[in-house]
Amino acid sequence: MSLKNYLDASRWVRDQRRRLPEGVVKSTFHYRNDLSTTHECNIYKPQHVEKTEDLPLIIDVHGGCWVHGDKDLNECFNYDLVLQGYTVSSLTYRTCDRVYLKDMVQDVFSYMHFLENCHEDLGIGLEDVMLTGDSAGAQLSLLVWAINQQPELQKLFEVEPVSFHVRCLCLTHPVCFLNTAATVPGNKYLTQIGREGLLRILFGEDWKNSEIYQAVHSPEQYLSRDLKMPPILVMTSQGDSCYRDQSIMLERMLSDLGADVSFYYEPDKKAVHVFNIDNPETSLARRFNGAILEFFDSVCKTLGGSGLRAA
């Protein structure tokens, strides 16, 4: 079974047993004019709040090993965030079973421009924004933020920057070091693809000579002390035996760069990779996700935003 087929099957089994709670209004939009289902996004709002543009906004970029997922993949997680008093948005981006990393980044930028250009019609605010992602989505979130700060990377990826500011980043179980992402014992599917296989589907057959690969295969390539980084929360857990070390490496690297980085470690061995996304209704996940919202609220208040979630 291929990695994508395995993830698709796992998602189907997971979705059969869950029921979405009431109290959330979900709307779906095309963020590109091609009307493709690969360019759709969701906006989730609390049902009984009239002025949702005053609420903090959480932008959630899904994971899925860069080959799987869409705007609905993290739906239970997103519903749970909305019920805590936030507006949430998620997107579908083309995955690398169809395109390369450059195209995925371009999709995320198209989506963010859509939010920027249409936020008044969408009833969302852009004053207090947190960008978050899990696993491969965390890698994309960090990379997109960095590209938005650096004209040379914008030229390389052929994107235009957005003007609204992300107040903070939350990176959940991030897999940002691409050279080692497919060499971890215990993840039989990525290990089957192998290091070169993963880099080939992300950067092309001639990945070794790819300018994009050279520029972004590790955060060490695209982050520096010269960048004014927002507060960053890196989160991992004892049960994430495959990628826990990636989170620890990232937190140390960010600290060495002088970033305002916080680190949350869940010691419970039952807390496996992205457990808080897959099963947000558990007490373990609620504690983990509660730390995300406490971090966001604290940043908003410290930096002078409203930080006012719905009651």
Looking at residue 80, its pLDDT comes to 95
Kindly report the CATH number assigned to the domain that includes residue 210.
3.40.50.1820
146 occurs within a structural domain: yes
Looking at residue 81, its pLDDT comes to 97
Instruction: Examine the pLDDT at 251 and tell me if it is beyond 60.
Output: yes
Looking at per-residue pLDDT, the higher value among 307 and 187 belongs to 187
* Element of type H or E holding 107: helix 101-122
Cross-sheet strand order for the sheet of 261-266:
24-30, 40-46, 87-91, 57-61, 129-134, 168-172, 232-237, 261-266
67 occurs within a structural domain: yes
- Rounded to an integer, the average pLDDT of 33-57 is 95
3-state secondary structure 194-248: HHHHHHHHHHCCCHHHCHHHHHHCCHHHHCCCCCCCCCEEEEEECCCCCCHHHHH
Looking at residue 1, its pLDDT comes to 43
48: left (phi over 0), alpha (psi -120 to 50) or beta: alpha
Which spans in 123-218 are helix H?
A: 136-149, 151-157, 188-203, 211-216
Instruction: Examine the pLDDT at 12 and tell me if it is beyond 60.
Output: no
| Residue range(s) defining the domain that contains residue 227 | 3-302
The percentage of the chain sitting over the pLDDT mark of 70, rounded to a whole number, equals: 88
Q: Facing residues of 45 across strands?
A: 25
How many residues does this entry show for the chain? 311
Structural domains in the chain (count): 1
311 occurs within a structural domain: no
259 occurs within a structural domain: yes
Q: Which of the four pLDDT bands, split at 50, 70 and 90, describes residue 307?
A: low
- φ/ψ of 240, rounded to 5, equals -85, 70
> Lowest-pLDDT range, 10-14, 118-122, 304-308?
10-14
CB neighbour class for 211 (10 Å; exposed up to 12, middle 13-18, buried from 19): exposed
Cα separations in angstroms, 300 against 57, 128, 293: 11, 6, 11
Q: Which of the four pLDDT bands, split at 50, 70 and 90, describes residue 19?
A: low
309 occurs within a structural domain: no
Looking at residue 7, its pLDDT comes to 55
Q: 182-231: per-residue pLDDT in tens? A: 887 666 666 667 889 999 999 999 999 999 999 999 999 999 999 999 99
56 occurs within a structural domain: yes
**How far apart, in whole angstroms, are the C-alpha atoms of residue 250 and residue 177?**
8
310 occurs within a structural domain: no
Instruction: Examine the pLDDT at 254 and tell me if it is beyond 90.
Output: yes
- Rounded to an integer, the average pLDDT of 223-248 is 96
3 state SS of 176: coil
Question: b vs e for 52-67, b when ≥16 Cβ sit within 10 Å of the residue's Cβ?
Answer: bbbbbbbbbbbbbbbb
307 occurs within a structural domain: no
